[in-house]
Each structure stands twice: as C-alpha cells, then as structure tokens.
Amino acid sequence: MGSEAGPVEINGLLVIDKPGGWTSRDAVNRVGSVVGRKTKVGHAGTLDPMATGVLVVAIGPATRLIEYVQQMPKTYLATVRLGGRSDTDDAEGEIVSTLSPRIPDVDQILRALQAQIGTIQQLPPRYSALKLGGRRAYDLARQGEDVTLAPRPVRIDEIQVHSYEWPDLQIEVRCGSGTYIRAIARDLGDALDCGGYLTALRRTRIGEFTAEQGIGPENLTRADLLERFRPPSAAVAHLPAVELDQAQVGLVRQGRALDAARVRWSNAASASGEVALFDEAKNLVAIGEVVPDGGLAPRRVLA
C-alpha cells in the first residue's frame, strides 16, 4: 500500500461517522482535502445536517460503485417527539404543539407503526433534496413557494420500539434506499392524531458498513485514511465473482466480452445479472453482466 511519505493512489471506501451539524458534502470535502484535489470523492446516501452516523465515502475509481452502496439496506436509531408538528418534519423546522393531544399507549403506537411496514407509498418531506422543475424542494419551500411532491414507493423492513415515555419515542428502523425517517415520524403522529416529528437520528448501518467502523471527519489525516479504507470489492460483495487471467483483464479493460468457455467462477455462478470481475491478485477490475450465451460483457470498468 505504500507509506504516507510517497504517493499512494487511493481506490476504495471509507466509513465516516458523521457528526451533527455537518452536511454530507462537508464530510466529502474533508476527505477530498486529505486525498488531494485530483482524486475524485463522493458519498452514498445523504444524511441531513441534524443526523449522525454512517456515511460511506467512495474515493478514486470506487466512486463508480456508489450506487451499489446506496442500494444496500440501512438501519437507523430515531427519536420521535409526539404531540406536535414541524414544517420540516424534524426539530429544525417551525414547530406547532398540538392542543390537548391524545396520548397514545404502546399498543396503539405499535399498531400505527405496523401500518408503515412493507413496500408503502411514502410522501417525501416538503423540505427535501428532491427536485421539482430542476430545483431542490427545500429551496422552493424556503422561498415560500408551493411544494407538491408525489408519494414514492419505499421499503420498510422492520420498526422496533426501544423506549417510550410521553412525548418521546425511540425506534429502530430497518429500511431500503430512499426512505425518509422524518416521514415515518410525521405519518406516525398523523395516524395517532397527536402529531409527531423527528428530534434525533443516527444511521447505525448501511449493508455491512457500521458506525463502529467509522471515523470522525473533524481531524481526519491521511494516515487514518490509509489505515481504514476498504477495497472497492466491499461495495459489491453480494455479487457473484469471476476471476480473470491477465489476458482477460486486458480484454475487459478494452470493453470486450469474454467467451463463456473460459469463465472461472470463484463462487456460485449466476445464470443472469451482474457479476464482479477480479484479477488474479483479487483486485476488482470491473462489473460485468452475463450475456445470453453464458459469456460476460463488461459494463463498468474501474480503471
């Protein structure tokens, strides 16, 4: 891997434990300042400034794999305050308390949460990064313009209640990409007829990337980064793997397909879909796709 004294091309993933008050872009910029301006840096899965926890940052050619991390299931620990509503659906917005709210019991909360589990149509918050007519919804909302977003399908796998003492409820949510935890808080409050909004949020996991693996960006050094970054293959560990010989690596880098007769599967073969292509040193070379005759066509070359 080399030492800090010499030039090192970094190609991989870094788990940042984002602190509150930082935007996801702030964290990416911090990593970028460490690796240098010429190295591409991006992140998978935006966290609001109020939120903390797992932010997976991709560095170098691994930025081409960001979408695979974004598709991974996520786990959040969230605190919902019942008995009020917020125009942003969280504590950052203008909050209006509910007069004489109906105080729900745990069973009522569990039933209301159960209704949000599965593949549901979720209405995104008005203050979100989604675009309307090429502009961010939160920019339009801040300017007082009417923001009408359409419900979107999201997958919520599980919601567990960790603690409840009126008006604060702590829940753990396991969900798919695109889910707004703020919207879960809002919809829960509406279902209970008392109002609800998010007061704290921590993302504890994206796929196999956990908060325990994370490092704070505040004092990040190059030595920290070199010690902690993960190989690009961590983003596609769920894909079947194919090992290529030197000649095949050359073909893939040229964008040429591989003959089915010479494909060597490293684990269970897939009759269709995407596969991860490795060289003999176990470095990820590209993402390929199985073609009808059983051969492989490169779809995304990393270098």
Could you list the pLDDT tens digit for every one of the 303 residues in the chain?
A: 444 444 557 899 999 999 999 999 999 999 999 998 889 999 998 898 999 999 999 999 999 999 999 999 999 999 999 999 999 999 999 999 999 999 999 999 999 999 999 999 998 887 666 666 666 666 655 666 666 778 999 999 999 999 999 999 999 999 999 999 999 999 999 999 999 999 999 999 999 999 999 999 998 999 999 999 999 999 999 998 889 999 999 999 999 998 877 777 665 455 568 999 999 999 999 999 988 877 889 999 986
Task: Classify residue 151: in a domain, yes or no.
Answer: yes
Residues spanned by the domain of 59: 12-72+208-234
Q: Is residue 44 part of a domain?
A: yes
Same domain, 213 and 200: no
Predicted pLDDT of residue 2 = 40
Structure tokens at 6: 């010499």
Q: Is residue 5 part of a domain?
A: no
Domain count, the chain: 3
Tell me: do 104 and 174 sit in the same domain.
yes
My answer on whether 114 and 225 are in the same domain is no
In DSSP notation, the chain reads ---TTS-----EEEEEEEPTT--HHHHHHHHHHHH-TTS-EEEES---TT-EEEEEEEEGGGGGGHHHHHTS-EEEEEEEEESEEETTSBTTS-EEEPSS-----HHHHHHHHHTT-EEEEEPPPSSSS-EETTEEHHHHHHTT----PPPEEEEEEEEEEEEEETTEEEEEEEE-TT--HHHHHHHHHHHTTS-EEEEEEEEEEETTEEGGG-B-STT--HHHHHHHPBPGGGGGTTS-EEE--HHHHHHHHTT--B-GGG-EESSS--SSSEEEEE-TTS-EEEEEEE-TTS-EEEEEE--
Among 187, 206, 225, the domain-final residue is: 206
Q: What CATH code is carried by the domain that includes residue 139? A: 3.30.2350.10
Integer Cα distance of 211 and 87 in angstroms = 29
- Do 27 and 126 lie in a common domain? no
Shared-domain flag, residues 138 and 19: no
pLDDT of residue 126: 77
**What is the reported pLDDT for 1?**
40
**How many residues in total does the chain contain?**
303
**143 and 223 together in one domain:** no
Task: Check whether residue 252 and residue 295 sit in a common domain.
Answer: yes
Q: Which residues are catalytic?
A: 48
Is 2 domain-assigned? no
**pLDDT for residue 144:** 65
Predicted pLDDT at 10:
87
User: Are 221 and 266 contained in the same domain?
Assistant: no
Whether 92 and 190 share a structural domain: yes
196 and 104 part of one domain: yes
Is 196 inside a domain boundary? Answer: yes
Task: Let me know whether 54 and 66 are in one domain.
Answer: yes
